[in-house]
Each structure stands twice: as structure tokens, then as C-alpha cells.
Structure 1
């Protein structure tokens, strides 16, 4: 990132590139199974997948006084280019069903322009913003020579007000309109086999979900403590949900858009520094979902109430390093056709920042106790499917960053 200042004006330019690759090989052992007269003869014995993701991001921001008006404006642009590629080779038990290697590639381009104006009037602060965003993606699948395209332009407004209530407390309110696009696995049309008769696939025609969000919050800041409480309401249109369907002898899990999800909830945060070398943060959230869709047969469950909590301990060491431990808990939750039990995991990190704040080094470990096994149950009027998924969430990473100019 580079920054250039001129009096009260500031120009910041940021660029990043990331690449992630993943290989998955699934084999099914049927040595002791007589499959000749079973539905397994139509299924696979091997699934070999290679996935690659490349992301380039360019962002420029310009902070400046807003002409002769009081207040400050932030003008910005951001462009993101994403390429996903998946190669897949399936081996079927029946020779006549064999197919060649398949490839699915999708290129996403997002260009955004945004303007944020902020002003203070005594104890009242307010911000008003607008973001215009152009999106397009082009996807190609080798088998069948199918082409998938989508293009749209959206405008997202936002408003935030905050009022000081004395020296230590603040009352805030906000409204925003946001977009959440489906992730790659939700649109990838490949068939992925959990076992020969249970299949997952994405929906390449899945649309993004849009949310109107309203929040009211109260914060109090003391010398060694901070408290924050908020209540919120979300109207989520085109909600993305996972559904199941029977296809002959198989069960197919995929994704669809439903009408709406109305979510209401509350959050609580408390942070304290009992000593100069220890920081303790605790937060919790509870919310209720109400799902609505004209296709009532899709809604095995029409509501969901759940909660989650996070604990964080930060220890400042004499050498300038900081040790950070985070624990997460998620209570049982459900979508329109699936339920998930509670889960817990913990992350560990150690980090250090140089005295001039330019160089930062960190070592991070996720799911340090290996507790992130996932159990999902999918229920429709015609079937009930319980799956236990064991993923490798335990990872170790090193991050080094340096600010060239500020």
C-alpha cells in the first residue's frame, strides 16, 4: 500500500494477489460388497478433483474536504478479478458410463465506485454513503460445452448516525443495503460424491442475496473496560439455502434461492484490561430467522433460533510479541431443510509489529484442538439424510506485511 498526503488530503493505493490450490481424491472400497445387482453399478469408484483460485484486488481511496462544506469526503474505487478453475476425473464402476476429464472455469470481474461523506455537528456525527457496483462472470464447462454468463449493476446506500451521551457513552443507529454473492462451491456444477449414492453439486444459476440491515447500538468506554450492546433487523431477499432431492437411487444436495429471510437479533460485547499485559474480550450474539417462500414444500423448517459466543485472550510479552487465543462456540442451528449440531473450536496466533508500525509478522494456527468435525442432517418430506464430515481445519500459516509509505 502507498499513501500520499497533501495538507488534509490523502490518497491511498492498495494491490494484493492471492493463489490457493487444493487437490481432493476420493476412493470407495467395495471389495467385500457384491455390487452387480445394486444401484452402485451406476455410480463411481473414484473422484479426482484439482481446484485453483486466483484473486487480484486493486483499491484506491482519496480523502478530502468536501469543497466549502463542513465535513470530509472519501472517494474510492475498487476492482477485483477472480479466476476459479476445477479439473475433475471420475471413474465409474460400469465401463459404458466412463467420461473424459471435465473442466469448469469461471472468471468474475467486479468494479465498484463509492462515495462517503461524514460530518460532525456538536455531539452528533453522521455518515452517508453510496456504492455503485458492476459485476459480471463468464463460466465454461468442458463436457457439454456449456456457457454460463451473468451481468448486473447495483447501487447500495448506507446511513450512520451517532450521538455522544456524555464523556463515556455513545448511541448509534445505521441502515445499509448489501449484497452477498454465492461462493464458488455453491455455483460449481460438478458432482462431488460423499459416497456412491450421496452427491453434492452447485447451482451455476444461483443468484446473490440482498439484505436491508438496520442496527441500533449503545457503547460505553471506560479507562480499562468497554461495553457494547446492539439490536438488529435484517430483511434478506433471494436467500441462499441448501436443499435435497431424490434422483433415482441417489440423493442430490444442491443450492437454491428462496423468497426472504427476516432475521432479528442482539449482540453483546465486553472487553477489559485487568493488567497492562492482559486483554480479555467476550462477545455473544443471538438471533431468530423466519423463512418465507411461495414453494411451501421446500420449507421443512420455517424458522431458526440460535446463538454463538467468542472469547479472546491477548497476552503482551516483554519481547514485544503478542500471544492471542480465541475460542468460538456455535449452538445448534438449522436452515430450511437441514440441521447442524453445536460446534467448538479454538485458534492461536502470535504476532509482532515493529516500533514504526510498518513491519508486521504473525504465526497463526486454526482449530488447534481438532474439534471441527461437522454433522449435518437434511430432512425433506421424502427423506432424512445424516452426514458426518471430517475436514482438515487444522492449519498453520505465516503472514508478513510491510507498509512502503504512509
Structure 2
């Protein structure tokens, strides 16, 4: 038997397979969504703003009495097979007959993980975490150091393993965090960075697995929808564009990304639209400053502008601009500003953008 608890803070289209059990995290401080909640019995639900989905993991550890294999996934992230199909109970049990634990496929940073973490979070928290491990679990400390200097990492605390190993992991993890709580001060952190224990835990799974020499099956992860915060971000920017408030939209773009850098990650921005939105806002503001109607005359709907930018990029990449391209440039009143920005930022053109820009200016 296997039970995969699906952590959520919102309503979602839950899988029909009964192996997946929705669990609302942070229910102590939020509206009851009608799912099983993490706020009964022995609970840390009220600490969800600091722990994220870990409050659900804690609840399962302390309150769920079943001895089945235990799994953790998210409302929009599920383990899938090579055919992109959701894993079923029989799949989990077959895999766990050969491996100790199922995780997401490993990802690799371009720098050691310690530097990678420091780019978006408070590095002193990670360092203090290491100190706690050194004191509480000294045999694991060399592995902690090794993993932090490596580039491999997992994401999202996604896993499926035996009940025995799940309990052992939780006992280890929360012993570290309950001590770490006493040592770090998050009172000045914004809402995003307050989820410090959720962020710190992602790499600790790799530390624990490595230190115990567990055999690992790294599974594909299917993402069913964009992150809710990413959707809200795009809607907010789109509304300002619709109102013609380009400068305000651009200011909001950077203000939000400063406090919520996660919304632009590959697993959040599934359509990879945020870099295009940034370019659209830049073009529109430059055009506005130069009194050029340009993109905002073409449309004030962000989805339309996103497709328009993609079309322009595809056409401008062509070596020869044929009638279809020239007609599109004319009908959409494509400005010199838009062309220069697109060409300068198009990775496919590399060093060739200046020649293409000169060609554009001579097109008439």
C-alpha cells in the first residue's frame, strides 16, 4: 500500500486515483478548503508561513497511523513515468521494491549549491543549519559540507519512501529545525523569505539520503499548472497594461520579482513568458518616451503582445525578410525601437544583431 499526500493551499483538480490524498497545509491560519487539514492533533500548522509544505509533512509524521509507503507531492507537481502518465500505486510499489526512495530528478546548478542558495536567500541561515547538524548529528556534517559544495540538488521536498524511512527522515529533519528556530531571527524577512525552513529543507533531503547511502529512483515530475503567484503576477501586469500604465507596470514587475523571485523559475513560469513580458514592458516604455504608438497601439492585451513579440522575433531571425514578414512589420507598425531591442536580446543572433539592425534601417 502507498499513500501520496498532495500538499495544497488552494483548490485544485485532484487526481481520481485514491493513492493521492489532498492535504491542506497551513489550515490553522486560512479558510478551510474542505480537504484533510494539517491543523489537528500534534500540529505546527500555525507555522506554515515559515515552514511551507513541511507543516503537512510534520502532520503526516505525527498523526497518520497507516504503515503504508508514504509520499509527498504538490497540488501542481506529480511524479510521472516516461510516457508522461501519473504514477499509480502499483508503480510506486514496484519501484520501491528495488529502491529505498523516490525523488524528483536531480537538477544541477552552475555554481556550488551554497553559492546558488546565497543568490536568493540568507546564506547565514544555511551556515547556521550546518552548525546545528555538526552539533546534533556530527556524523552527517561532512556529508552536509560535501553536498553544499556540490551542484546537485532536488526541489520541492517531493519523495515517496517506506513508512520506516519517512519517520526516520522526519525525526532527523525536525530535530534540526526546532533547534535552528532558536538561532535565526526571521522577524525582518519579507513574506517570501520567511519560508526559510521550506527552502533549507530541499537540500537536506539530499544530505540525509547521501549520508545513509540510500538507493534512489529519480522520477520525472509533471507540472499540471503554473504557480498561483505566477498567474497572479501576470494578471496584475496585464491589468496595468490594459489601462495604459506602462511605467507603473514596469515598476511593479521589478518590485514583485525582488520579493518573489520564485515566480520566474522554470517550474513556476511554465510558458517561459516572464522574460518576454520584461522585454515588452521595456519596449513599450521606450516607445512611449519617444512618442511612438508602437506596441500599445497594436494591443493592450498582454497575451496578445506576448504572441506579437514571439512573431516579431521569429520573423527578424530570418536571413531574408520576405513579403509575409514585411507585411507584418507594416500592419503592426513595428518601430525601430522594438526591432533594436529584440535583435540585441535575441540569443540566436549573437554578434549578428548590428548587421541585421542596419539592414532593417535600410529596408525602405
Q: For the superposition of Structure 1 and Structure 2, which TM-score range results when normalised by the shorter chain?
A: under 0.3
Give me the TM-score of the superposition, normalised by structure 1. 0.22
**Bigger proportion of residues as strand:** 1
**Bigger proportion of residues as helix:** 2
Q: RCO greater where, 1 or 2, for CA within 8 Å and sep 6 or more?
A: 2
